[in-house]
């Protein structure tokens, strides 16, 4: 087969999604929804069979280049849902899953080819003498540049030259905007630290409905822990990790109006930090899938 809708670089994950979608046309819709700064196709895979009106869960990964367990876990979730679909028949009839496994594809590739610990995008410096790339999770237009971010392009948490200066985040923003009316949950996977966090990241104040978000997160991490005993901490991102504004989670809640928004810091707790051994990919996927099932069942029964 040829790479989906593109003669541009066709990395493994896109190739795999194209094959999966063509093997399971009853369940999968694959769309190329944009391209990265360096021209890599950005794909959205919709999984579900209840039709476009059903409530949805939007899931992305790979916003930070070096957090490799994120795309690995998101692709595991996709694979479970699609290749073991008969086990999840009821969920797939009543919930749509929208997946974008690698939303910073240039940075992700660069972390394989040049710098394993690269975090940012790979856009050219906005001004002479600057450095390449911005922190894609400081680049969203909600309290942009207020906290936990920098205007020095040479540091890892550089917020970008303007809100949504990074084209990849424009692409994700446009999909979240298009799907906002049906999307009830937004999940964005990072590493590391084993935390299931909800807004806000720009302030220590909590959203007025924080107890709803807290309850669902606790149910999810309970199911996660039951699989391999892995413990996750639950709380608002400011209170759990640090204050940082311009994140996708805050935008999804504060601007797109999606109620249940979570940033998930996957394994581990710092033993292997970003360089998690490959043997932990499947355990991470298995336990995260258990958490996703709790969330999907909640969406099914609530909406």
Q: Which residues bind ligand 0X9 (CB under 6 A)?
A: 64, 67, 137, 190, 197, 201, 237, 241, 244, 247, 249-250, 263, 265
Is residue 38 annotated as a catalytic residue, yes or no? no
In terms of DSSP bridges, do strands 260-266 and 183-191 run parallel, antiparallel, or are they unpaired? parallel
Stretch in the footprint of Zn ion (CB under 5 A) among 60-68, 106-114, 162-170, 267-275: 60-68
67 or 287: whose CB is closer to ligand 0X9? 67
**Which of 43, 237 has the CB closer to ligand 0X9?**
237
Dihedral of the alpha carbons of 269, 275, 277, 282, in degrees to the nearest 10:
70
Q: Please state the closest distance from residue 263 (CB atom) to ligand 0X9, in A.
A: 4
Q: Which does 263 bind (CB under 5 to 8 A by kind): ligand 0X9, Zn ion, none?
A: ligand 0X9
Distances (CA, A) of 50 to 26, 47, 59, 299: 10, 10, 18, 14
Least Å distance, CB 195 to ligand 0X9, is 8
- Paired with 28 in beta bridges are 47
201 binds, among ligand 0X9, Zn ion, none (CB under 5 to 8 A by kind): ligand 0X9
**# of chain residues touching Zn ion (CB under 5 A):** 3
- Out of Zn ion, ligand 0X9, none, what residue 244 binds, judged by CB under 5 to 8 A for its kind, is ligand 0X9
Told to check if 64 binds Zn ion by CB under 5 A, we report yes
Helix or strand or coil: residue 210? helix
| Residue among 60 and 67 whose Cβ is closer to Zn ion | 67
Least Cα distance to 194 among 80, 271, 298, 101 occurs for 271
Nearer to ligand 0X9, 31 or 146 (CB): 146
> Considering only residues 169-228, where is the footprint of Zn ion by CB under 5 A?
190
Nearer to ligand 0X9, 17 or 265 (CB): 265
Distances (CA, A) of 14 to 18, 32, 47, 142: 6, 10, 15, 30
CB of 107 to ligand 0X9, least distance (A): 12
Separation CA 120–CA 66 (nearest Å): 9
Distance CA 96, CA 44 (A): 12
Which one from 67, 168, 265, 287 is the annotated catalytic residue?
A: 265
CB 249 within 8 A of CB 173: no
Nearer to ligand 0X9 (CB atom), residue 31 or residue 156: 156
Q: Alpha-carbon distance 110 to 53, whole Å? A: 38
Q: From Zn ion, ligand 0X9, none, which one binds at residue 56 (CB under 5 to 8 Å depending on kind)?
A: none
Separation CA 49–CA 29 (nearest Å): 10
**Distance between CA 260 and CA 213 in Å, rounded?**
6
**142: which 2 tokens?**
């909600």
219, 274, 299: which is closest to 48 by C-alpha? 299
Q: Which does 250 bind (CB under 5 to 8 A by kind): ligand 0X9, Zn ion, none?
A: ligand 0X9
Minimum Å gap between C-beta 152 and ligand 0X9 is: 16
Task: Kindly state the smallest distance separating residue 103's Cβ from ligand 0X9, in Å.
Answer: 13
Residues carrying an active site annotation: 265
Binding site for Zn ion (CB under 5 A): 64, 67, 190
């Amino acid at each position: 087969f040829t790479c989906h809708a593109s003669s541009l670089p066709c990395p493994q994950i896109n190739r795999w999604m194209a094959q999966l979608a063509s093997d399971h046309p009853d369940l999968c819709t694959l769309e190329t929804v944009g391209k990265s700064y360096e021209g890599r196709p950005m794909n959205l895979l919709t999984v579900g069979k209840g039709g476009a009106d059903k409530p949805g869960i939007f899931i992305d990964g790979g916003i930070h280049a070096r957090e490799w367990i994120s795309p690995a876990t998101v692709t595991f979730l996709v694979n479970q849902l699609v290749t073991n679909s008969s086990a999840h028949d009821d969920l797939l009839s009543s919930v749509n899953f929208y997946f974008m496994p690698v939303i910073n594809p240039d940075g992700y590739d660069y972390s394989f080819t040049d710098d394993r610990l690269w975090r940012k995008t790979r856009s050219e410096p906005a001004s002479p003498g600057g450095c390449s790339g911005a922190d894609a999770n400081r680049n969203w237009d909600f309290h942009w540049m207020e906290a936990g971010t920098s205007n020095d392009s040479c540091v890892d948490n550089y917020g970008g030259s303007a809100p949504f200066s990074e084209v990849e985040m424009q692409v994700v923003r446009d999909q979240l905007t298009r799907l906002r009316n049906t999307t009830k949950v937004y999940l964005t996977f990072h590493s590391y630290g084993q935390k299931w966090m909800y807004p806000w990241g720009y302030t220590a104040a909590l959203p007025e409905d924080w107890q709803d978000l807290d309850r669902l997160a606790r149910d999810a991490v309970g199911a996660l822990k039951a699989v391999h005993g892995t413990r996750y901490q639950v709380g608002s991102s400011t209170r759990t990790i640090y204050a940082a504004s311009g994140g996708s989670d805050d935008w999804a809640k504060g601007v797109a109006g999606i109620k249940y928004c979570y940033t998930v810091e996957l394994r581990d707790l710092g033993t292997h930090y970003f360089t998690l051994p490959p043997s932990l990919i499947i355990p991470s996927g298995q336990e995260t899938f258990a958490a996703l099932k709790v969330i999907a069942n909640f969406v099914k029964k609530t909406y």
